[in-house]
Amino acid sequence: MGRLLAIDYGKKRTGIAVSDPLQLIAGALTTVETKTLFDFLADYMAKEDVERIIVGLPKQPNGEPSENMKRVEPFVNRLRKLYPTLPIDMYDERFTSVLAHQAMLDSGIGQKARRDKALVDKIAACIILEDYMESKRL
């Protein structure tokens, strides 16, 4: 079994989370500058067995596509061209940033650390992955 890799794609930064090889546990991996994302992915996938990529599907609370969708679609299309045999799923990412902030509050992370947008992005990617994995267990 390979890892699941989740991406919370952003204009400037992208949060990345991965599962363990048995796909039981999701963990926040890192945040990378979006402009270096494809280089990061190529390097990571050369070292690790990735079975599937999950990309956060940006939607507004009413279900309509959010403004970030115009960046996510071309990104996903390029991913599919670069990795044609790798399944790529899009998964609803509504409220993941809010949930990431709440998780940081609940864990007792200080106010200064909560302002770290890179931390929020990788926690949001982890929430996307956890939700995706949970939906597949049902």
Render pLDDT for 52-109 as a digit per residue (tens, 0 to 9).
Answer: 999 998 887 787 878 888 999 999 999 999 999 999 999 987 766 666 656 656 666 6
User: Given strand 50-57, what is the order of strands in its sheet?
Assistant: 26-33, 13-19, 3-8, 50-57, 88-92
Q: Which residues pair with 50 in a beta bridge?
A: 3
- Distance CA(99)–CA(12), nearest Å, equals 20
- Distance CA(119)–CA(111), nearest Å, equals 12
Render pLDDT for 1-17 as a digit per residue (tens, 0 to 9).
Answer: 899 999 999 999 999 99
pLDDT at 106: 65
Show the domain range for 93: 3-137
Structural domain count, the chain: 1
- Distance CA(135)–CA(84), nearest Å, equals 24
Q: What is the CATH number of the domain that holds 126?
A: 3.30.420.140
Q: Rounded to 5 degrees, what are φ and ψ at 39?
A: -65, -45
pLDDT band at 124 (very low <50, low <70, confident <90, very high): confident
